[in-house]
Amino acid sequence: MIQHVGNHPFGKKHRPHEVVIETLLFLFALFSILITVGIAFILVRESFLFFADPDVDLLGFLTGKVWQPMIGLFGFLPLLNATLTTSLIAMLLGIPLGLFVAIYLAEYASDRVRGFLKPTLEVLAGIPTIVYGYFALTFMTPLLRSLFGESRVDIYNTASAGLVIGILVLPMIATMAEDAITSVPKDLRLAAYALGGTSIETTFKVVIPAALSGLSATFLLALSRAIGETMVVALAAGAGPNLTANPFKAAETITGYIVRISGGDVSYNSVDYNSIFALGLVLFVITFTLNLVSRKISGLFHQEYD
Amino acid sequence: MNTTNLAEALPRVYEQPQEQKTIIALKDVNIYYGSFQAVKQASLDIYEHQVTAFIGPSGCGKSTVLRSINRMNDMIRGSRIEGSVRFHDHDLYASDVDPVLIRRKIGMVFQKPNPFPKSIYENIAWGARINGFRGDYDELVETSLRSAALWDEVKDKLKQNALRLSGGQQQRLCIARTIAVQPQVILMDEPASALDPIATGRIEELILELKNSYTIIIVTHNMGQASRVSDHTAFFMVDEKRRGYLEEYAPTEQLFLNPAHKKTEEYISGKFG
């Protein structure tokens, strides 16, 4: 397929197959962008339908403290509150645990321990989230109820769901944080040791601060993952919006509500049905922003050492 | 008896006049990485307030010997040492010795400048902080930077991130950081090899000033540098099994102008290396 142009021995060659392959690859790349744009477009269009409804106004949506579609109250704060509660609890468990696992893996673990711990984390990451949901309902909730008393802890509660999401994001945090820690140049560790630093001082006063931007990016991505997590909260957090600060009470999250409505028998074109697109848009904006910020931060991190 | 045999019959370790005080003494040091022997039977004395240069071709074990002096080889998995390394007559490898405390007395400057990604001030203060220094930190930072001939260039930007300094400034900061811990000995592993000629010149001037207060051992590939800055030079060679050993150790002038061994002469005249 190679032909010379003109008679020049180094004349340009035509390689038609390269053009074909390049075009194909470009089309695939374009396809993924189109899907993203398409999803965003549908979310926005359907959300418009929701906000165009006479029962709904944007201010009421953003500030309302009651979500009761039956009586035309669409304040999304109860749903947002439940989402933030489960995510916060997940981060409170997942970040320290994931960080310590990462520090141990990156700085202390022998090859043998690593060879055992890494695959275990991968198994943890491979468990379907529905199983985590059952785990929350059949293990975590009974555990919390026996610890704090059945009268204080509802059967469905945000604490149980949040703790299990924390375990669910643990492998992700551990793996990404380990990458952030190992990408701190070895020179810095040697410098700290050569100044008479112990291994703890080296890890916590040099390596971790140097990895901080990579670690923050990791935590933001994990938060984004926790906010979007659905199965666990759908099973264990409760079905019914409830504006409460008590993590032992049942409260429906944004994702939990979306699952209930899209799986139930609400008719298309009803306000209830359209509301899930507005909520989907909210989720999309939150996670998209978190991912963007996370990318920005990890970009800064790479700049520092290049 | 021909001259080559005569040269080889000479003692490898230079006999030092009485007035110079030995601060570090290596005796029959063998260093292994796993099953590979990197250094074979190295014995030499380092003298206080002198600059000692380690020279030799790649793989001759000069950096390995250097790192055995502040136990940085401990950081390398599978490394092992035989023989004795004594500092002021204390065996540095005795079982009750804490390597962390040794490194506070025997500091080290690396090939590539490696300041912490913190401010200039914090870079200097770090070592003192973990040492529990209770004195005046501002003063410590100033004296350390002055000793490293960096104060005038950075005195107005102590809060600036150290990574924004030039390579030569970063290396002088690393020297200042080492000085701040108040060691007795400073080990330098090719401290100027990543720097341009002007920055290299400043590091060399600095080494000559620092020897009044510290004992310095410098590994270098640059024979000009060894001859300019050092009082004693140890020439390491590598044998047929790729083991490094000490070929010749003498006052620098003698080693460069009148080497006792043929290999030394060949190396310093650039026949290999």
Q: Given a cut of 90, is residue A176 above it in pLDDT? A: yes
Instruction: List chain A residues with CB under 8 Å of B114.
Output: 185, 187-188, 190-191
Mean pLDDT of B157-176: 94
Where does the pLDDT of residue B83 fall: very low under 50, low under 70, confident under 90, or very high at 90 and above?
A: very high
Q: Given a cut of 80, is residue A44 above it in pLDDT? A: yes
Q: Given a cut of 90, is residue B14 above it in pLDDT? A: no
Q: Given a cut of 60, is residue B8 above it in pLDDT? A: no
Q: How far apart are CA B115 and CA A206, in angstroms?
A: 11
Predicted confidence at residue A224, as pLDDT, reads: 95
Angle CA(B106)–CA(B109)–CA(B113) in degrees, nearest 5? 160
Contact across the interface for B72 and A197, Cβ inside 8 Å:
no
- The answer to whether A304 contacts chain B (CB < 8 Å) is yes
Predicted confidence at residue A226, as pLDDT, reads: 96
B8 close to B263: Cβ distance less than 8 angstroms: no
| pTM over 0.90, yes/no | no
- The answer to whether A265 contacts chain B (CB < 8 Å) is no
> How far does B234 lie from chain A, in Å, by closest CA?
23
Where does the pLDDT of residue A15 fall: very low under 50, low under 70, confident under 90, or very high at 90 and above?
A: confident
Where does the pLDDT of residue B19 fall: very low under 50, low under 70, confident under 90, or very high at 90 and above?
A: low
Q: How far apart are CA A226 and CA B24, in angstroms?
A: 58
A50 close to A271: Cβ distance less than 8 angstroms: yes
Domain spans in chain B, listed from the N-terminal domain onward? 23-112+184-268
User: Per residue in B84-101, pLDDT tens?
Assistant: 999 998 999 999 999 999
Contact across the interface for A196 and B177, Cβ inside 8 Å:
no
Option in A196, A201, A209 nearest B181 (CB):
A196
ipTM for the complex shown? 0.88
For B:46-85, CB contacts with A below 8 A are: 70, 72, 75
- The answer to whether B133 contacts chain A (CB < 8 Å) is no
Question: Looking at chain B, which residue has its C-alpha nearest residue A205?
Answer: B126
Q: Mutate which of A112, A114, A195, A301 to disrupt the B interface (most B C-beta within 10 Å)?
A: A195
Where does the pLDDT of residue A4 fall: very low under 50, low under 70, confident under 90, or very high at 90 and above?
A: low
Structure tokens at A26: 């470009």
Paired sense of beta strands B215-219 and B185-189, if any: parallel
Predicted confidence at residue A5, as pLDDT, reads: 59
Option in A188, A201, A205 nearest B114 (CB):
A188
What percent of chain B shows pLDDT beyond 90?
82
Predicted confidence at residue A305, as pLDDT, reads: 58
CB burial of residue A239 (10 Å; 0-12, 13-18, 19+): middle
Contact across the interface for B72 and A196, Cβ inside 8 Å:
no
Contact across the interface for A193 and B103, Cβ inside 8 Å:
yes
Contact across the interface for A205 and B126, Cβ inside 8 Å:
yes
Question: What is the maximal distance between C-alpha atoms in chain B?
Answer: 67
Question: Looking at chain A, which residue has its C-alpha nearest residue B73?
Answer: A190
Mean pLDDT of B144-153: 93
- The answer to whether B259 contacts chain A (CB < 8 Å) is no
Structure tokens at A178: 């380990």
Option in B101, B114, B130 nearest A191 (CB):
B114
Predicted confidence at residue B3, as pLDDT, reads: 45
| Average pLDDT value over all residues in chain B | 90
Could you tell me which of A166, A151, A167 has the C-alpha nearest to residue A248? A151
Question: Looking at chain B, which residue has its C-alpha nearest residue A110?
Answer: B77
Predicted confidence at residue A13, as pLDDT, reads: 76
User: Per residue in A150-166, pLDDT tens?
Assistant: 999 999 999 999 999 99
A272/A198: higher pLDDT: A198
Q: Mutate which of B69, B100, B101, B112 to disrupt the A interface (most A C-beta within 10 Å)?
A: B100
Could you tell me which of A45, A35, A46 has the C-alpha nearest to residue A274? A46
Question: Looking at chain A, which residue has its C-alpha nearest residue B101?
Answer: A196
Contact across the interface for A206 and B70, Cβ inside 8 Å:
no
Length of chain B: 273
Option in A187, A201, A304 nearest B114 (CB):
A187
Where does the pLDDT of residue A270 fall: very low under 50, low under 70, confident under 90, or very high at 90 and above?
A: confident
Option in A197, A201, A304 nearest B117 (CB):
A304
Instruction: List chain B residues with CB under 8 Å of A181.
Output: none
Q: How far apart are CA B84 and CA B107, in angstroms?
A: 19
Q: Given a cut of 60, is residue A142 above it in pLDDT? A: yes
> How far does B174 lie from chain A, in Å, by closest CA?
9
B162 close to B113: Cβ distance less than 8 angstroms: no
What percent of chain A shows pLDDT beyond 90?
71
Contact across the interface for B107 and A194, Cβ inside 8 Å:
yes
Residue A183: phi and psi, rounded to 5, are -80, 0
Mean pLDDT of A50-68: 87
Predicted confidence at residue A3, as pLDDT, reads: 57
Mean pLDDT of B221-226: 92
Mean pLDDT of B55-63: 92
Predicted confidence at residue B77, as pLDDT, reads: 85
What percent of chain A shows pLDDT beyond 70?
95
Where does the pLDDT of residue B1 fall: very low under 50, low under 70, confident under 90, or very high at 90 and above?
A: very low
Instruction: List chain B residues with CB under 8 Å of A205.
Output: 126, 130
User: Per residue in A213-255, pLDDT tens?
Assistant: 899 999 999 999 999 999 999 999 988 899 999 999 999 999 9
B17/B28: higher pLDDT: B28
Bridge partners for B92 per DSSP: none
Residue B88 gets the label, from left (phi > 0), alpha (psi -120 to 50) or beta, of: left
Element at A13 (helix H, strand E): strand A13-14
What percent of chain B shows pLDDT beyond 70?
93
Where does the pLDDT of residue A73 fall: very low under 50, low under 70, confident under 90, or very high at 90 and above?
A: confident
Instruction: List chain A residues with CB under 8 Å of B70.
Output: 194
Question: What is the maximal distance between C-alpha atoms in chain A?
Answer: 91
Where does the pLDDT of residue B153 fall: very low under 50, low under 70, confident under 90, or very high at 90 and above?
A: very high
Decide which of 3.50.50.60, 3.40.50.300, 3.40.50.2300, 2.40.50.140 is the CATH code for B23-112+184-268: 3.40.50.300
Predicted confidence at residue A304, as pLDDT, reads: 58
Structure tokens at B226: 């060894």
User: Per residue in B234-259, pLDDT tens?
Assistant: 999 999 999 999 999 999 999 999 99
A14/A35: higher pLDDT: A35
